């Protein structure tokens, strides 16, 4: 498939100034602009032609900033809910599922929509790239990138906190081109990010870029493309649990492209994003009508993160304030930041499994719980067209049906290692 693929045509644009410029291969920022802003891909094709499901995620390649396709990807699957919809009293509930559910056509063997990012980001990578891609993650992102890079022989350095390495489960051994290094037990996601930033100061390594990477956002935007392709129109409401909020920014951007496409309506989906109580920093900022995340006590935040079940929703520096980020998306589209407790998410996850037939990730259960509450308190009406983004699921099913192996770390770093130590270690690994 890779050989026949013709690179997608696009130009880049600063969300802040509207300046347009070419992609230099891995452009993450607007050149010569002082104010921090996201940049966006403006695709040559205004009307998307969705290919058949055999293309995996690349069925949406018209709106992915890629010049090659990789093997074994899967696209998110959207279907009209019957069980859950009936129980909670909705007539137009569509579920977009990114996880493991082969019976429905969803084959994300790493179990979450982070795989959409990884296949898109790696499709943006030049085949001649000599440097090593660096990704820091607390779990699902690391698993997705490890899988995609291993399957496609792409050199990858993963930085993960040692306490999270249980998240690195796979159904086959990960190849040698992927190396895992960890920050020692007791450290957290921010220590892993710090390590990855130091690694990227070395000549041979470069950062993936997170929310700033157009390929990451447009990969996640395929959840919305899947929904609209299935439904035939843009939904009224979009429900998703957020840690960084990148998925919801991506949904908004896909929505803007779908309006310009002209065939699916003119409305913007209200972005109903959700967090796991008590870690609700974006709710606090949104309710205070503040672009900035409100000052927080770091010890308090760490304690809150220890409490929540949906750990992937624990980002303390989300791309919420940046121009083109979640604050702007929600101001433009409308919406709200909702919350669910651990008990509520556990109950919602159980209900989903009972009524729809598959287990879901705790984060996806947060989104489900907030949808149930929004129906009960009349925020959404029974005939509203609703997209529920189930961002992860089928993990238990996958583990039942497969033999699982774990990726082991090649090195354990102290919490704040010096650059010489890092260089010595990494030189031996790659």
Ligand X SMILES: Cc1ncc(COP(=O)(O)O)c(C=O)c1O
- Alpha-helical regions (H) of 206-280: 214-220, 222-231, 246-261
- Using the rule CB under 6 A, which residue among 241, 271, 282, 386 binds ligand X? 241
Q: Which is nearer to ligand X, 177 or 309 (CB)?
A: 309
- Which residues, 51 to 70, sit near ligand X by CB under 6 A? none
- Using the rule CB under 6 A, which residue among 14, 16, 78, 112 binds ligand X? 112
User: CA 265, CA 259: separation in Å to the nearest integer?
Assistant: 6
Q: Which is nearer to ligand X, 67 or 373 (CB)?
A: 373
- Using the rule CB under 6 A, which residue among 37, 207, 222, 244 binds ligand X? 244
- Using the rule CB under 6 A, which residue among 76, 123, 155, 243 binds ligand X? 243
Q: CB of 420: closest distance to ligand X in angstroms?
A: 32
Helix (H) or strand (E) holding 39: strand 39-43
Interface stretch with ligand X, choices 46-54, 55-63, 236-244, 413-421 (CB under 6 A): 236-244
Token representation of residue 221: 């935007």
Q: What is the DSSP string of 354-368?
A: HHHSS-B-HHHHHHH
- Using the rule CB under 6 A, which residue among 155, 247, 394, 417 binds ligand X? 247
> Residue 363 interacts with ligand X (CB under 6 A)?
yes
Q: CB of 250: closest distance to ligand X in angstroms?
A: 7
Q: Name the nearest CA neighbour of 169 among 240, 100, 73, 69.
A: 100
User: CA 113, CA 99: separation in Å to the nearest integer?
Assistant: 7
On whether the CB atoms of residues 177 and 150 are closer than 8 A, the answer is yes
User: CA 211, CA 253: separation in Å to the nearest integer?
Assistant: 13
Interface stretch with ligand X, choices 19-27, 65-73, 242-250, 257-265 (CB under 6 A): 242-250
The DSSP bridge pattern shows strands 178-183 and 156-161 to be parallel
- Which residues, 136 to 155, sit near ligand X by CB under 6 A? 140-141
Q: What is the DSSP string of 163-183?
A: GGGGG-EESSPPPTTEEEEEE
On whether the CB atoms of residues 162 and 187 are closer than 8 A, the answer is yes
Q: Name the nearest CA neighbour of 291 among 21, 29, 34, 37.
A: 37
Q: CB of 140: closest distance to ligand X in angstroms?
A: 4
User: CA 57, CA 64: separation in Å to the nearest integer?
Assistant: 9
Q: How many residues does the chain have?
A: 430
* Bridge partners (DSSP) listed for residue 11: 42
Q: Which is nearer to ligand X, 244 or 342 (CB)?
A: 244
Q: CB of 143: closest distance to ligand X in angstroms?
A: 9
> Residue 282 interacts with ligand X (CB under 6 A)?
no
Count CB atoms within 10 A of the CB of residue 335.
22
The count of residues interacting with ligand X (CB under 6 A) is 18
Q: CB of 181: closest distance to ligand X in angstroms?
A: 20
- Using the rule CB under 6 A, which residue among 92, 183, 213, 246 binds ligand X? 246
On whether the CB atoms of residues 161 and 139 are closer than 8 A, the answer is no
Q: Name the nearest CA neighbour of 279 among 352, 211, 362.
A: 362
> Residue 361 interacts with ligand X (CB under 6 A)?
yes
- Using the rule CB under 6 A, which residue among 312, 329, 374, 375 binds ligand X? 312
> Residue 217 interacts with ligand X (CB under 6 A)?
no
Interface stretch with ligand X, choices 18-26, 36-44, 245-253, 415-423 (CB under 6 A): 245-253
Q: CB of 11: closest distance to ligand X in angstroms?
A: 25
Q: Which residue is nearest to ligand X (CB)?
A: 247
The DSSP bridge pattern shows strands 93-97 and 77-80 to be antiparallel
- Using the rule CB under 6 A, which residue among 155, 161, 392, 417 binds ligand X? 392
Q: Which is nearer to ligand X, 242 or 426 (CB)?
A: 242
Q: Which is nearer to ligand X, 96 or 140 (CB)?
A: 140
The reply to whether omega before 96 is within 30° of 0 (cis) is no
Q: CB of 247: closest distance to ligand X in angstroms?
A: 3
Q: Which is nearer to ligand X, 181 or 242 (CB)?
A: 242
H helix and E strand count, the chain? 14, 18
Q: Which is nearer to ligand X, 16 or 98 (CB)?
A: 98
Contact set with ligand X (CB under 6 A):
112, 114, 140-141, 241-247, 312-313, 361, 363-364, 391-392
């Amino acid at each position: 498939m890779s050989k026949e693929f013709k690179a997608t045509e696009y130009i880049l644009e600063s969300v802040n100034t509207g300046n347009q410029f070419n992609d230099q291969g891995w452009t993450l920022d607007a050149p010569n602009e002082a104010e921090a802003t996201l940049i966006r891909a403006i695709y040559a094709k205004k009307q998307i032609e969705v290919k058949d499901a055999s293309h995996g995620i690349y069925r949406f390649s018209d709106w992915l900033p890629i010049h090659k396709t990789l093997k074994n990807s899967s696209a998110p699957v959207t279907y009209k809910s019957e069980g859950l919809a009936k129980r909670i009293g909705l007539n137009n509930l569509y579920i977009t599922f990114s996880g493991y559910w082969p019976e429905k056509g969803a084959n994300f063997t790493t179990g979450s929509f982070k795989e959409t990012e990884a296949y898109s980001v790696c499709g943006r990578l030049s085949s001649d790239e000599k440097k090593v891609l660096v990704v820091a993650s607390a779990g699902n992102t690391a698993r997705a990138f490890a899988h995609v890079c291993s399957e496609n022989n792409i050199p990858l350095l993963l930085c993960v906190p040692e306490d999270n390495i249980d998240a690195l489960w796979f159904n086959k051994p990960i190849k040698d081109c992927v190396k895992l290094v960890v920050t020692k037990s007791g450290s957290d996601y921010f220590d892993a990010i710090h390590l990855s930033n130091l690694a990227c100061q070395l000549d041979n390594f470069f950062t993936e870029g997170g929310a700033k990477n157009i390929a990451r956002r447009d990969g996640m935007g395929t959840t919305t493309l899947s929904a609209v392709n299935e439904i035939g129109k843009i939904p009224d409401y979009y429900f998703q649990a957020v840690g960084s909020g990148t998925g919801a920014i991506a949904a908004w951007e896909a929505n803007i492209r779908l309006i310009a496409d002209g065939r699916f309506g003119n409305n913007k989906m209200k972005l109903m994003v959700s967090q796991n109580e008590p870690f609700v920093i974006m709710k606090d900022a949104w309710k205070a009508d503040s672009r900035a995340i409100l000052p927080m006590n770091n010890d308090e935040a760490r304690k809150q993160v220890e409490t929540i079940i949906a750990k992937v929703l624990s980002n303390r520096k989300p791309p919420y304030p940046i121009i083109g980020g979640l604050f702007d998306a929600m101001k433009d589209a409308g919406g709200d930041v909702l919350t669910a407790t651990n008990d509520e998410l556990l109950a919602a996850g159980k209900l989903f499994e009972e009524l729809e037939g598959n287990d879901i990730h705790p984060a996806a259960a947060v989104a489900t719980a907030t949808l149930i509450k929004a129906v009960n308190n009349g925020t959404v009406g029974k005939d509203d067209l609703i997209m529920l983004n189930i961002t992860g699921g089928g993990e238990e099913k996958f583990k039942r049906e497969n033999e699982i192996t774990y990726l082991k770390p090649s090195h354990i770093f102290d919490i704040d290692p010096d650059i010489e130590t890092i260089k010595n270690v990494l030189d031996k690994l790659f």
